[in-house]
């Protein structure tokens, strides 16, 4: 029986150790969570999200918390893995969380939101732009950033207006985000210009050499390459286009908004590249006070810091308006109100998207990303 | 030149440049396999570390104010030495103690080393891309629309020189003869006075430094490196080694070049997302149909 | 002691600082001055400790298991027979005590246990290294996801179908490749695993590509559908217990013994008239079956599948569990899975070092304790014989 007792002891001990960290919420705190990629190559974006949410929570706590209780912020790391996102969503439910700010990648947000819908938790994403996030008609999901169909539309409008007659090619990185965005751009472009794109294809994200695919583009002599994907691949694509003697301009989406894009491509190669993103935060007068206190507390403001900050503010306001820790009531309150944010007033449509498309066009000018006057 | 013709030749050039790198990495696999019959899974990571080492040393030398040409050559030399020693250390710590154990043990140990190195670089250098500190010219030669960039030409040249040098070294020198003797029968070799452990360590050193050269050139070519690149590059190089006949030095070169070209053509004519399927498909097909590879000879299995 | 000191002054005076310097130099470019210093100091301390004989008594942590095993074999059969039932009842009782999150992690551990049990058949029992095991897992998961969302088939129908399809996959892969030698086989299975993942990612019309398949229905019993981690935990418990029961019997059967013979010396086994090719195929498809069943369960728990869940790292993770537990050992596979699944929960905060430690552990295990923490009976015996000379 010695052996049995030992096994039971091992099993019980490991279960108890694991259990200790996950007791139910205390009576005097309200638990909210921010979830994003806190480790891996997107760790910086994850930290930006966490810091933004933390700033909001600290401000609320300084004003006396919510529903008479202190707010406790939990930070979750989905490591950009859908499976972990899903299991974190379950974990947050079991810990009594009713409000989640997250996730970053659409590929994580979509599966995790199935759980949020099932468990009546409010989820507000500051960064996931794939239309499917909100298109399933779930009542407790919101997003404060834009949608890829809005983003693809803005890009298509820009190309049709400023590059008429251009030969357009499309590539994506075969991910939920990249393929979704590339498809939206292509559909909008073909509708608006009544022309077909001359090439549509994919690259492998883990790969470093795209010259084979670019070589098959070269005889088409394209003027524009629209890329659905993230900055490391976008940077390599521009670099290898120039090495092959391709002059096409690269245009991409919010996933390419990162100074590393220019460093990887090489400043000369990247010059003139275009991307769609939200407006320059430095130029929004209402945001400067928040930016200043964020800088003082955490350092440089990332592209998604303020979106995460406002997502948390909106979520907490929803709970406060509902007057109870109830996801469904809080979601109803968010749907029926308008919120004053650093980006101006925000209200949500029936799906949970912001009413106005926030996207503007940016361009690489003398080695820096600059917002250009086009919307 | 017509569009179709241009495309085909350009794909061949692209393929040869990538293939030359596969070939350099494949040499390490093939030499190690030839001598101790071990698939050194950590070899892909060694290549990745060669690229990191080169960038780190280059950045340090440039900070010291060395002129670019000198800094580049010393960085290459530095990473070659450093990475070679990493290879020797890996052999000493993870493989030598397991000689004579079951066949699975060194394989699993190699897998462990591969994960360890990947995490070691991730934790010490961060997850973001490491960017090559110098922006090299993107110019090149051009003939009939087919473009060979200077870096591609340099890669092909360096790889060819190294491969020829290695073949001569293994074929013509005393040390090379000791290596071949050890590969054929380590016990007999040691009885005839060959320092078997030293020869094996030297094999790891040479294989790893070749991978470091490949890593350094790739970092120069793509302008960046990431801690994850070793896995796929290592696998591809292994496919190249198998394709050419594992244990066979000219075979590894041929296999690397063929694989690079086939991949390029597959990506260009079938679609970028399927090129890895083609590469692994070749691996499986070769192993099933002709396990001795393109240039290998069928050997009776050692019992 | 005097002799050791003499040896120390003769060989060690330079060897230890030299190797410390060597490793410090290796670490310098990657870890900086401070990191290199720490590495050097660590190496120096270890070398000196070794010279003084401090490391000679290697920790034999699982010895208590061997002793416990001795006690168990002396127990009256009546007690021995009830032991598994007692353990099972404790675990069932825990399902109603523990909080939902812990149960959720335990369920994941259960899925990994199923995978490890499957991989153990082929790697541990039959001695064939498979590095693409996640492919079978993926086939099972996608089978349920597709059959459920397109044709409305239920979890219980899909459980055997997913397993069978994965087994068929194993058979198809095994037929042409099993003649290959061990390390070639490892690489072919790795390539096969990659092809499967890439196909899942690219075959949009069937697998929905990188988006994966959403809206998979949870399992249900008599019209009552699973919606609490407790239900999944109990299901995992049932599946793992049943598997352990079956596999223990298999291990002791003719087939199990033939596998051991084949693993230890294939040529000799063949000479004895053991049909090695057929046995390999059997091992392959049975392992794949378990992988497929685990996949169906995974899809039923996550309610969603996507290609990233079936990558190489997943295959390596399961292999780690098998190696840690002890290759060939059925309880070892379960123990390895449970330990490695709960590890990240216990090590919260130092989580980023987890994979580093895994890699190192694989190397050290192969060197110092290749038979794992709960060695299989034959291997435990071999190790004992080796110790006694």
d(CA A363, CA A126): 23
Nearest residue of A to residue B261, measured between CA atoms? A212
Which chains form contacts with chain A, at 3 or more CB pairs under 8 Å? B, C
- Inform me whether the C-beta atom of residue A175 falls under 8 Å from chain C C-beta atoms: yes
- Inform me whether the C-beta atom of residue A247 falls under 8 Å from chain B C-beta atoms: no
Taking CB atoms and an 8 Å limit, are C366 and B116 in contact across chains? no
Nearest C-alpha neighbor of C113 from the set C248, C291, C234, C286? C291
d(CA C63, CA C70): 11
ipTM: 0.88
Length of chain B: 303
Task: Please name the member of C29, C31, C360 whose beta carbon is closest to the beta carbon of B53.
Answer: C29
Taking CB atoms and an 8 Å limit, are A41 and B128 in contact across chains? yes
Distances (CA, A) of C342 to A222, C87, C133, C335, C348: 53, 19, 21, 11, 10
Task: Please name the member of B109, B115, B301 whose beta carbon is closest to the beta carbon of C358.
Answer: B115
Task: Please name the member of A204, A207, A244 whose beta carbon is closest to the beta carbon of B147.
Answer: A244
Distances (CA, A) of B27 to A363, B118, B210, B292, C191: 44, 21, 8, 16, 20
Taking CB atoms and an 8 Å limit, are A242 and B138 in contact across chains? yes
- Inform me whether the C-beta atom of residue B59 falls under 8 Å from chain A C-beta atoms: no
Taking CB atoms and an 8 Å limit, are B128 and A266 in contact across chains? no
d(CA C243, CA C237): 10
- Model confidence at C78: pLDDT above 80: no
Residue matched to tokens 């290199």: C36
Q: To the nearest whole number, what is the mean pLDDT of chain B?
A: 89
Distances (CA, A) of B302 to B106, B246, C181, C269: 18, 15, 11, 16
Distances (CA, A) of C39 to A317, B110, C17: 51, 21, 12
The percent of residues in chain C predicted with pLDDT above 70, rounded, is 88
Question: What pLDDT is attached to residue A22?
Answer: 44
Q: What is the nearest CA distance from B150 to chain A, expressed in angstroms?
A: 10
Q: Which residues of B touch C123 (CB under 8 A)?
A: 104
Helix (H, G, I), strand (E, B) or coil at A226: strand
Q: Which residues of C touch A1 (CB under 8 A)?
A: 75, 79, 83
- Inform me whether the C-beta atom of residue A187 falls under 8 Å from chain C C-beta atoms: no
Per residue in A276-311, pLDDT (tens digit) is 998 888 888 889 999 999 999 999 898 899 999 999
Taking CB atoms and an 8 Å limit, are A212 and B224 in contact across chains? no
Question: What pLDDT is attached to residue A19?
Answer: 45
Q: Which of C138, C307, C345, C374 is most worth mutating to test chain A (most A CB atoms within 10 A of its CB)?
A: C345
DSSP code of B135?
-
Question: What pLDDT is attached to residue C7?
Answer: 55
Please give the torsion angle defined by the CA atoms of residues C246, C247, C253 and C256, in that order, rounded to the nearest 10 degrees.
Answer: 160
Model confidence band, residue C215 (pLDDT cutoffs 50, 70, 90): confident
Q: Which of C90, C97, C105, C204 is most worth mutating to test chain A (most A CB atoms within 10 A of its CB)?
A: C105
Question: What pLDDT is attached to residue B117?
Answer: 96
C83: Cα within 13 Å, side-chain hemisphere: 19
Mean pLDDT of A21-38: 76
Mean pLDDT of A182-208: 93
Per residue in B165-195, pLDDT (tens digit) is 999 999 999 999 999 999 888 889 999 989 9
- Model confidence at B149: pLDDT above 60: yes
d(CA C106, CA C129): 27
d(CA A333, CA C136): 46
Q: Which of A47-61, A241-255, C369-383 has the lowest mean pLDDT?
A: C369-383
Per residue in A115-148, pLDDT (tens digit) is 999 899 999 999 999 998 999 889 999 999 999 9
Question: What pLDDT is attached to residue A17?
Answer: 46
The more confidently predicted of residues B297 and C183 is: C183
Nearest C-alpha neighbor of A69 from the set A101, A103, A93, A96? A96
Nearest C-alpha neighbor of A129 from the set A374, A329, A303? A303
A–B interface: beta-carbon pairs under 8 A? 106
Which stretch, A83-87, C236-240, C266-270, has highest mean pLDDT?
C236-240
> Of chain B residues 265-284, which have a CB less than 8 A from chain C?
273-274, 276-277, 280-281, 283-284
Question: What pLDDT is attached to residue C385?
Answer: 58
Q: What is the nearest CA distance from B10 to chain A, expressed in angstroms?
A: 7
Q: Which residues of A touch C90 (CB under 8 A)?
A: 8, 11-12
- Inform me whether the C-beta atom of residue A179 falls under 8 Å from chain C C-beta atoms: yes
Taking CB atoms and an 8 Å limit, are C123 and B93 in contact across chains? no
Taking CB atoms and an 8 Å limit, are B127 and A40 in contact across chains? yes
Question: What angle do the packed helices C354-368 and B104-125 form, to 10 degrees?
Answer: 150
């Amino acid at each position: 029986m010695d052996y049995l007792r030992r096994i039971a002891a091992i099993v019980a001990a490991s279960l108890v150790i694991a259990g200790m960290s996950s007791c139910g919420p205390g009576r005097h705190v309200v638990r909210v969570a921010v979830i994003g990629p806190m480790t891996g190559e997107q760790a910086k974006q994850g930290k930006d999200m966490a810091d933004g949410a933390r700033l909001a929570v600290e401000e609320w706590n300084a004003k006396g918390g919510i529903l008479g209780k202190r707010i406790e912020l939990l930070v979750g790391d989905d490591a950009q893995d859908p499976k972990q996102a899903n299991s974190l969503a379950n974990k947050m439910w079991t810990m009594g969380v009713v409000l989640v700010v997250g996730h970053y990648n659409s590929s994580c947000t979509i599966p995790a939101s199935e759980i949020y819908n099932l468990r009546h938790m409010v989820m507000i994403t500051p960064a996931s732009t794939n239309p499917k996030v909100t298109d399933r008609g779930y009542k407790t999901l919101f997003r404060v950033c834009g949608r890829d169909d809005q983003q693809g539309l803005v890009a298509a409008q820009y190309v049709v207006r400023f590059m008429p007659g251009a030969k357009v090619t499309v590539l994506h990185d075969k991910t939920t985000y990249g393929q979704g965005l590339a498809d939206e751009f292509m559909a909008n472009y073909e509708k608006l210009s009544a022309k077909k794109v001359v090439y549509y294809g994919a690259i492998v994200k883990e790969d470093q050499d795209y010259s084979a695919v670019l070589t098959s583009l070269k005889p088409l002599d394209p003027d524009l390459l629209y890329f659905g994907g993230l900055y490391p691949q976008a940077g390599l694509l521009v670099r290898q286009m120039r090495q092959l003697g391709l002059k096409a301009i690269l245009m991409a989406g919010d996933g390419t908004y990162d100074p590393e894009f220019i460093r990887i491509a090489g400043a000369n190669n990247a010059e003139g590249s275009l991307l769609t993103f939200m407006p320059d935060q430095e130029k929004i007068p209402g945001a400067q006070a928040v930016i200043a206190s964020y800088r003082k507390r955490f350092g440089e403001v990332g592209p998604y810091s303020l979106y995460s900050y406002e997502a948390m503010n909106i979520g907490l306001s929803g709970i406060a308006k509902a007057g109870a820790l109830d996801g469904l009531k809080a979601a109803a309150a968010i749907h029926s109100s308008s919120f004053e944010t650093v980006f101006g007033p925000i209200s949500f449509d029936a799906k949970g998207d912001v009413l106005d498309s926030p996207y503007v066009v940016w361009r690489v000018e003398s080695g820096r990303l600059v917002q250009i006057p086009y919307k | 030149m017509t569009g179709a013709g241009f495309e085909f030749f350009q794909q061949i050039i692209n393929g040869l440049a990538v293939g030359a790198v596969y070939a350099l990495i494949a040499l390490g696999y093939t030499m190690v396999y030839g001598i101790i019959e071990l698939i050194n899974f950590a070899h892909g990571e060694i290549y990745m570390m060669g690229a990191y080492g080169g960038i780190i040393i280059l950045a340090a030398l440039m900070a010291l104010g060395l002129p670019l040409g000198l800094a580049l050559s010393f960085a290459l030399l530095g990473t070659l030495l450093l990475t070679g020693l990493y290879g020797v250390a890996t052999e000493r710590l993870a493989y030598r103690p397991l000689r004579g154990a079951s066949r699975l043990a060194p394989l699993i140990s190699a897998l462990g080393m591969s994960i360890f190195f990947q995490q070691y670089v991730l934790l010490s250098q961060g997850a973001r891309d490491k960017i090559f500190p110098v922006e090299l010219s993107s110019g090149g030669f051009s003939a009939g629309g087919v473009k060979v960039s200077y870096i591609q030409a340099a890669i092909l040249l360096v790889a060819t020189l190294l491969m020829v040098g290695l073949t001569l070294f293994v074929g013509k020198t005393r040390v090379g003869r000791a290596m071949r003797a050890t590969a054929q029968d380590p016990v007999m070799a040691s009885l005839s006075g060959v320092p078997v452990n030293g020869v094996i360590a030297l094999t790891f050193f040479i294989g790893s430094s070749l991978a470091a050269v490949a890593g350094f050139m790739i970092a120069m070519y793509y302008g960046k490196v990431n801690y994850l690149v070793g896995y796929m590059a290592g696998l591809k190089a292994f496919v190249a080694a198998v394709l050419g006949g594992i244990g066979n030095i000219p075979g590894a070169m041929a296999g690397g070049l063929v694989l690079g070209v086939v991949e390029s053509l597959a990506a260009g004519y079938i679609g970028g997302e399927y090129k890895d399927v083609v590469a692994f498909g070749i691996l499986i097909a070769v192993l099933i149909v002709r396990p001795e590879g393109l240039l290998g000879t069928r050997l009776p299995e050692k019992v | 002691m005097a002799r050791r000191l003499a040896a120390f002054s003769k060989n060690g005076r330079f060897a230890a600082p030299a190797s410390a310097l060597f490793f410090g130099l290796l670490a310098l470019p990657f870890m900086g001055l401070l990191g290199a210093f720490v590495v050097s100091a660590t190496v120096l301390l270890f070398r000196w400790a070794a010279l003084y004989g401090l490391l000679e008594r290697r920790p034999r942590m699982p010895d208590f298991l061997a002793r416990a095993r001795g006690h168990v074999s002396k127990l009256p059969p009546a007690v021995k027979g009830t032991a598994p039932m007692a353990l099972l009842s404790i675990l069932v009782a825990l399902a109603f005590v523990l909080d939902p999150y812990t149960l959720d992690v335990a369920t994941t551990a259960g899925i990994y246990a199923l995978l490890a049990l499957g991989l153990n058949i082929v790697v541990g029992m039959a001695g064939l290294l498979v590095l693409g095991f996640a492919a079978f897992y993926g086939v099972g998961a996608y089978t349920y996801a597709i059959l459920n969302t397109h044709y409305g088939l239920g979890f219980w129908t899909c459980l055997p179908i997913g397993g069978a399809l994965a087994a068929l996959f194993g058979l198809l892969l095994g037929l042409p490749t099993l003649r290959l030698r061990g390390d070639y086989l490892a690489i072919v299975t790795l390539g096969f695993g990659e092809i499967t993942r890439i196909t899942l990612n690219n075959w949009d019309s069937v697998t929905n590509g990188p988006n994966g398949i959403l809206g998979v229905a949870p399992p249900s019993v008599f019209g009552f559908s699973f919606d609490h981690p407790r239900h999944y935990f109990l299901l995992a418990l049932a599946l793992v217990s049943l598997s352990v029961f079956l596999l223990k019997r298999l291990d002791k059967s003719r087939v199990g013994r033939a596998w051991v013979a084949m693993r230890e010396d294939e040529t000799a086994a063949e000479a004895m008239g053991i049909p090695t090719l057929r046995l390999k195929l059997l091992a392959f498809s049975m392992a794949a079956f378990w992988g497929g069943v685990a996949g169906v369960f995974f899809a039923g728990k996550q309610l969603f599948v996507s290609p990233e869940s079936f990558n190489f790292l997943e295959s390596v993770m399961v292999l780690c569990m098998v190696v840690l537990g002890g290759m060939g050992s059925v309880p070892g596979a379960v123990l390895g899975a449970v330990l490695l699944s709960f590890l990240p929960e216990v090590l919260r905060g130092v989580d980023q070092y987890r994979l580093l430690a895994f890699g190192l552990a694989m190397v050290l295990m192969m060197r110092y304790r290749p038979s794992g923490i709960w060695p299989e009976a034959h291997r435990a015996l071999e190790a004992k014989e080796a110790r006694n000379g």
